[in-house]
Amino acid sequence: MSWVPRSQVAGASPVTIAGLGAYLPERVVTNDDLAASGLDTSDEWIRSRTGIAQRRYAAADQATSDLALEAGKAALADAGMGTDDVAAVIVATTTPDHAVPGTAPLVAAALGTEVGAFDVNAACSGFLYGLRVGSAMALVEDAPVLVIGAETLSRIVDPTDRGVAILFGDGAGAAVLVPDAAGSLGPFSLGADGRDPSMLWTATGGTRTPVSAAVLEARSHYLTMRGGDVYRNAVARMTAAANDVLQRAGRTIDDVDLFVGHQANIRILDAVAQRVGVDRDRVHLTVDQHGNTSAASVPLALADARHRGRLHPGDTVLLTAFGAGLTWGACLLTWNPDPTSDEGTA
């Protein structure tokens, strides 16, 4: 039997982002810092190949839930809400505090709530997947849902691997989703291709090959990547997903006021923007300051865009992301914050 859609739920949902929050750890790590640490690289190479100037690293006593908590609290305050208003807490992360339990229950407990709390692991696309699930829950529950993207990637990169160590940073961003008849979130285009996970993965440390002395000696528990393959797939998949949501929405790129893509590499973002047909003026960039923060990158960029006055009521925003899995996604968002939110601050 093939499935026949019965409604328009695959399209845009009447949901608004009522609050945004961001948290970046204090420690700034510049390209020169990495070179000075013994990595065979240079500020010039990193800037020209990636657009990254610096990234943040969590303090030794901070884990992903600590970063997520700060971003979540900031988003709730921005929405003028308390923890009791929230019906669910979703944390998108690929660097959880522990393999078991999930990170979201720890964040919810620190916020002081016992509502449903669970993780979404779709790597760098995780926040978009979180928005998709969170918006559906907000509608069904008729209540706000807190969606957080948070990562401590500095803990899973091999500091001696120059092909990877230069790219990633730590941070967290969050959004409070609320049902709102005047709001619009979607359509979404989400996809995954798990046929070759080794393109970007931690080969060991999971149930396939648990940690052992041999694993530690081989350093295979660290993140490894075939950079060129990831690059090509990122450009192709984000472009296709962005075009797909525009087509599903019956819109064109000219209708888009701001393009907020996964901040992986400025060359990837430029290539996607060029293929989708959006000029640099409408592309928001934070990759120079944050590096690649995986699931945190899109909400951090969104919060930064709002902070810099780049989001105005009624604006159409196009979000795209791509990550390990492979996973990818895009969605449209009408920036229509709740009137109680303090627009212009972050």
Contacts with ligand UT7, residue ranges (CB under 6 A): 41, 45-46, 49-50, 124, 162-163, 166-167, 200, 225, 227-228, 230-231, 234, 264-265, 292, 323
- Among 31, 221, 233, 262, the one annotated catalytic: 262
Residues 92 and 122: beta-carbon distance below 8 Å: yes
Q: Which two tokens mark 269?
A: 């973002």
Sign of CA dihedral 30, 322, 239, 18: negative
Is residue 284 part of the annotated active site? The answer reads no
**Closest distance between ligand UT7 and the C-beta of residue 167, in Å?**
6
Q: Can you list the pairs that 158-162 forms with residues at least 24 positions away whose Cβ atoms lie under 8 Å?
A: 158/219, 158/222, 158/223, 158/224, 159/37, 159/39, 160/38, 160/39, 160/219, 161/222, 161/224, 162/39, 162/40, 162/41
Tell the smallest beta-carbon distance from residue 323 to ligand UT7 (Å). 5
For residue 133, the minimal CB distance to ligand UT7 (Å) is 20
Q: Would you say 50 or 184 has its CB closer to ligand UT7?
A: 50
Active site residue 243: no
CA distance 329 to 227: 20
Nearer to ligand UT7, 161 or 315 (CB): 161
Distance CA 307, CA 286 (A): 12
- Closest to ligand UT7 by CB, 24 or 123: 123
Q: How far is the CB of 302 from ligand UT7 (least distance, A)?
A: 17
Nearer to ligand UT7, 129 or 335 (CB): 129
Which one of the listed residues 31, 124, 290, 331 is annotated catalytic?
124
* One-letter identity of residue 321: A
Q: Is 233 an active-site residue?
A: no
Nearest to ligand UT7 by Cβ — which residue? 227
Question: In this structure, what are the phi and psi dihedrals at residue 121, rounded to the nearest 5 degrees?
Answer: -115, 100
Residues 6+ apart with CB under 8 A from 60: none
Nearer to ligand UT7, 80 or 227 (CB): 227
Report d(CA 326, CA 306) in Å as an integer. Answer: 29
> Least distance (Å) from ligand UT7 to the CB of residue 3?
32
Catalytic residues: 124, 262, 292
